[in-house]
Amino acid sequence: MLNEKKDNHKFYDFVESIFERSDYEIGVIKTKRFTKGYSQKLRFFMSLWDVFYVPFAAYKLSKKDFIFLREFISPLFCISAIILFPLRKKLLLNVNHNLQRFEHRIIHRLSIKFIDLLGYSFFVFEYNNTPFNLKHKIVSIPFLLQDIKLPIAEKEPPTIGIVGGFRKEKKMEEILAGLLTLNKENNNFNILFACDDQKVLDANQNNNVLLINTKSIENYNIAINSVDILVFNYSELDYKIRHSGVITDSISKGKIVIAPDFPIFQEQLSTPERVGFNFESLDYLEESINDAIDFYYSPDIRDKYKKYFEYRSLIAVSSKLNQQLILKINNER
């Protein structure tokens, strides 16, 4: 049955193509805890298994210049970190949820500090800083974007969409209510609402909204491709210091993104060119939507996306990684 399980964070597979172009040999370890399809109880045991599996896998890759650990749970990795201490300078620890949990859970905060104190380096996408002081410099690169599409502005009103898996922290229904109110006043855009919960979709049948169930990847792609502007309202508790794969997918398809003004989202939507807008709260949603619609009709929108995509091309991101690794090596001499 194990070979039928799927990678829960397959989104990160792009790093391997970057590593292949690196000036250094980089091995990759994927923890078992983040394999999709395991029950909650089994994931707990896989987390414990990772404590020893990660050191075993890392020592097998010890001849590599660097070893990239793709996901990990900070408190449990503290045990692995002690076992891996001789290899600490080779390890690059990919943090995603780890930074978010640092802010709100003291055990994760102490774990990150302990791992840093031991001499390990963290690897962050789209964010060249951290919300806390570290002893060791982080390695940071932008996301690699492939299969990209440039935006095409039409004369008809743009379609503004809410797309993704329906989860409480995404507050999708709050955004929809805000869009319906704004559109009732201005009527200068269409609305699409796409999620994987049919009950939520059925509850909105009477609204003037295009509804799509995104349980299948085909429908998810249809939904993304059917909109011009996408709005996300991730909660601060869950996403203040965390990136979003859906936002990355949306930008790669030439969509304008509106998202909260969290640090990583700000970086992702404005570097090196602006491809989206941030808002402090839903009270400022109207301003962000108006900015996005103006940008949608802007004559230089395609040029901005070209520069944005070039910055995140395979050649450019590989070059940035090499520069970061050189800095890391020089700092540790």
CATH 3.40.50.2000 domain span(s) along the chain: 159-311
pLDDT at 46: 84
Partners of 259 in the beta sheet?
A: 278
pLDDT at 37: 59
- Can you give 277-317 as a three-state secondary structure string? EEECCHHHHHHHHHHHHHHHCCCCHHHHHHHHHHHCCHHHH
Helix ranges (DSSP H) in 63-135: 74-83, 97-104, 106-118
Identify the burial level of 243 via C-beta atoms within 10 angstroms of its C-beta, where 0-12 means exposed, 13-18 middle and 19 or more buried. Answer: buried
Tell me which residue has tokens 């050649």.
315
Is residue 156 within 8 A of residue 139, CB to CB? The reply is: no
pLDDT at 56: 96
Is domain 159-311 given the CATH code 3.30.450.20 in the classification?
no
Is residue 12 within 8 A of residue 30, CB to CB? The reply is: no
Nearest residue to 179 (alpha-carbon basis) of 192, 198, 168? 192
Cα–Cα distance, 194 to 177 (Å, whole number): 14
pLDDT at 294: 93
pLDDT at 146: 86
What backbone torsions phi and psi does residue 21 show, to the nearest 5 degrees? -95, 0
Tell me which residue has tokens 């990660």.
54
Tell me how long the chain is: 333
Residue 274 three-state SS: coil
**Ordered DSSP codes for 232-255:** ----HHHHTT---HHHHHHHHTT-
Q: Is the omega angle on the peptide bond into residue 272 within 30 degrees of 0, that is, cis? A: yes
Put simply, whether the predicted model's pTM sits higher than 0.75 gets the answer yes
Q: What is the DSSP letter of 68?
A: E
pLDDT at 1: 31
What backbone torsions phi and psi does residue 88 show, to the nearest 5 degrees? -55, -35
Q: What is the mean pLDDT of each run of 10 residues along the chain (333 residues)?
A: 48 86 94 70 83 96 96 93 97 84 81 94 84 81 91 81 80 86 83 90 88 91 92 84 83 95 91 94 89 93 96 96 92 78
Kindly give, in sequence order, each residue whose CB lies less than 8 Å from that of residue 14, ignoring residues fewer than 6 positions away: 143, 144, 146
Is residue 47 within 8 A of residue 78, CB to CB? The reply is: no
pLDDT at 35: 64
Residue type at 186 in one-letter notation: N
Cα–Cα distance, 140 to 126 (Å, whole number): 7
Is residue 55 within 8 A of residue 88, CB to CB? The reply is: no
Cα–Cα distance, 125 to 102 (Å, whole number): 17
Identify the burial level of 153 via C-beta atoms within 10 angstroms of its C-beta, where 0-12 means exposed, 13-18 middle and 19 or more buried. Answer: middle
